[in-house]
Amino acid sequence: MTRHRLPFPATAASVLLVFCSFVCHCNSQLLPADEVDALNTIATKLKNTHWPKLTRTSCSDNDGFNGFKVTDYIKSNVTCNCSYQSHSVCHVTNIQLRGMNMTGVIPQEFGRLAYLEELDLNRNYLNGMIPTNLTQIPLVILSLTGNRISGTIPKEIANMATLEELILEDNMLGGHLDPNLGKLSRLRRLLLSANNFTGEVPASFGNLKNLTYFLIDGSSLRGKIPEFIGNWTRLSRIDMQGSGIEGPIPSSISLLKTLTQLRISDLGGPSSPFPDLKNLTKLTYLVLRNCSLTGPIPPYIGDVLADTLYTLDLSFNKLTGPIPDSLQKLKKLNFLFLTDNMLSGEVPRWVLQNRHNMDLSYNDFTASSLSTCQQSNVVTLVIRTDWCVKKDLPCPGKPQYRSLFINCGGQKHTVGDKEYLDDLSTEGPSNFVAFNEQWAYSSTGYYLDNDKVRGYTVNNPFALNVTDSVLYQTARLSPISLKYYGLCMIPGRYKVRLHFAEIQFTNDETFSSNGRRCFDVSIQGEEVLTNFNIMEAAGGAGIGIYKDFDDVLVNNTTLEIHLYWSGKGTTAIPSRGVHGPLISAITVTPNFKVGGGLSTGAIVGIVLSSVLIVLTLIAVWLKGVLCRREIKDPELLSADLLTGRFTLRQIKAATGNFSVENKIGEGGFGSVYKGLLSDGTVIAVKQLSSRSKQGNREFLNEIGMISALHHPNLVKLYGCCTEGKQLLLVYEYLENNCLARALYGKRLHQVKEAH
């Protein structure tokens, strides 16, 4: 019997053919050998253990070289394009290695990846300079946020014709911005915040007409905001917070009709009126904080932004007049900050009934419609005509406290013989809390890039080596402004100790240790720390330190400690929205003797001295030399100046913090400034240059001289201020510089100062 071989089924042959073709096709999609070598070298240098040992077939696995994503901040992915040479050759086009804590320098081998379009190394621990050979590859995106990159931006980057995004935030770059960067005509996003760039923004940047994002916060630039920003007509967001740039905001800003976020703060330079923003109808975030803006809030804000505006921050300016009723049209408004202006009138009823976050503190509103400082858990109304800040929170009863101990953000603790009071309120972002007429605090602002943050206290999450005290295990923080008050303090001189420990950053070689927190500290209106960096001062994170201030004068029963973020430091480490002041504890003790008995001789001496002093003061008072001149002007009477004493806060507000533009004279013993009180009274303030014994003598001599002498140019003395290290005299203002001539002018007009 003949056996016949069965024919191979046609369908099986077809399947086998397709399978073989697929296998051959897949195996033929190969990475060039030089790219494989470059990638393996990169992995070795960066200690990137997530990549396997790469081969020419690594792109065929479609796994992004063992890609993963934990959060947007922590992810690894590699993209290959295998469409070259009839789908037989692959090239790496995108590399994302975010938040992987890679160390060392950026490997030069990235420059060998000839098809690389995106290099994202955000939030690692990379240092050194940007490799210049990156300019030899067709990068579209170069993103290095949150590392330790130093040096300058290489001038060769200006030759990267393909570059669309240059993202270098939160590094240690410095130097002048290269004018040649203005040649990057395709550039859309230029993010340079939290570095240390100097000089002016080059005029050539006006050629970057495709820009949609320009961020330059926290730098050390100089010069004015350039007019050429009006060329950036595609701009969606501009950030200039604490950049070092001066105002005013140029009129060309009105040309940026696509702008959705405008964030400018802490401008230097003279005061200026509110900029014309009527054409910016798409704004969602409008932040013009501490920009020396004057005049009223424009009513058009409520009209043109009724359907878009989410956040309005005009705090720390010199705005006057009432809150416009048109602001109630802002349907999407969730945050309103008008803190520390000169706004007046009654607070509108719609504000009191609003359930959104609003801070109207430190203005001149009337109290007729208010019952408390904190109207609700979201509306803070600290006003100057009720106790809340009746000129600086005066004691409603008898001064009784000689010390103050606060464990900021934490529980009550006893340390030695001191009992530190608890400070547990987690409310924010606009909050005022007073505790038993002994102390209070107010917090202003919210984290714009992380508005989910609600509790403004922080615990030690890293088990860091915080030494010396349990006080450093917690802290209170604030995005912008944090004020602590000691209330009903017995007048005298005190020692203030402020405790700090950085417990939001780490002390290791991870991206969380790259953060830099910088803020300013003022006590009694006098700045005592500028751009204070806790980690730098302590020598690392998690280390408790304190700063002592030994001679703080409390002469009106209230101690004020103000911590303020002026836009400096990092803002995106370990995540976006981490910035602003942080404090662990406050210790206030008297510099004068408390308690204890006195000998008979001491008592007799004190009595005799007191009698002599009283007789002297009576004689001086009768001559009108204790800052208590006769005041007949009803406006001054209504301004509560009969005591003849001004607070440093009042004078700083009136003179624009002793702005150069308000200076009207200068002599051997100080300067004279023009000022405007909140009630409209124009004054002249003489600031003596020394708080030494000589300065004190000049101060008293001048008061006596004004009382005793008669002169055609002699002006009325309204009062004085002796807070901190200041010696200030407040005069009636004469037009046409008559006061300056009277004090410092030519001999014909000069009243000589006593020497």
Q: Give the phi and the psi of residue 156 in degrees, each rounded to 5.
A: -65, -20
**Euclidean distance between the first and final Cα of the chain, in Å?**
141
3-state secondary structure 578-621: CCCCEECEEEEEECCCCCCCCCHHHHHHHHHHHHHHHHHHHHHH
Helix (H, G, I), strand (E, B) or coil at 75: strand
**Parallel, antiparallel, or unpaired: how do β-strands 75-83 and 89-98 relate?**
antiparallel
Helix (H, G, I), strand (E, B) or coil at 390: coil
Q: CA-CA distance, 263 to 582, in Å (whole number)?
A: 22
Exposed/middle/buried for 422, CB within 10 Å: 0-12, 13-18, 19+?
A: middle
CB atoms within 10 A of CB 630: 7
Distances (CA, A) of 54 to 24, 40, 59, 75, 367: 20, 6, 9, 19, 72
Q: Judge if the upstream peptide bond of residue 248 is cis by omega within 30 degrees of 0.
A: yes
Q: What is the dihedral of CA 441, 446, 452, 454, to 10 degrees?
A: 0
Feature table: binding site: 686
Evaluate whether 141 touches 117 at the Cβ level (below 8 Å). Answer: yes
Q: CA-CA distance, 70 to 100, in Å (whole number)?
A: 11
The DSSP H or E segment spanning 82 is strand 75-83
Q: Tell me how many degrees the CA angle 224-226-231 measures, rounded to the nearest 5.
A: 170
Evaluate whether 629 touches 637 at the Cβ level (below 8 Å). Answer: no
The DSSP H or E segment spanning 263 is strand 261-265
Helix (H, G, I), strand (E, B) or coil at 218: coil
What number of H helices and E strands is found in the chain? Answer: 11, 46
Tokens of 165: 């995004």
Q: What is the largest CA-CA distance in the chain?
A: 148
Q: Judge if the upstream peptide bond of residue 429 is cis by omega within 30 degrees of 0.
A: yes
Feature table: binding site for ATP: 686
Evaluate whether 549 touches 528 at the Cβ level (below 8 Å). Answer: yes
Long-range contacts of 102-106 (CB under 8 A, 24+ apart): 102/46, 102/47, 102/48, 102/126, 103/46, 103/47, 103/509, 104/45, 104/46, 104/47, 104/128, 105/45, 105/129, 106/130, 106/131, 106/144, 106/149
Evaluate whether 92 touches 39 at the Cβ level (below 8 Å). Answer: yes
In one-letter notation, the amino acid at residue 44 is: T
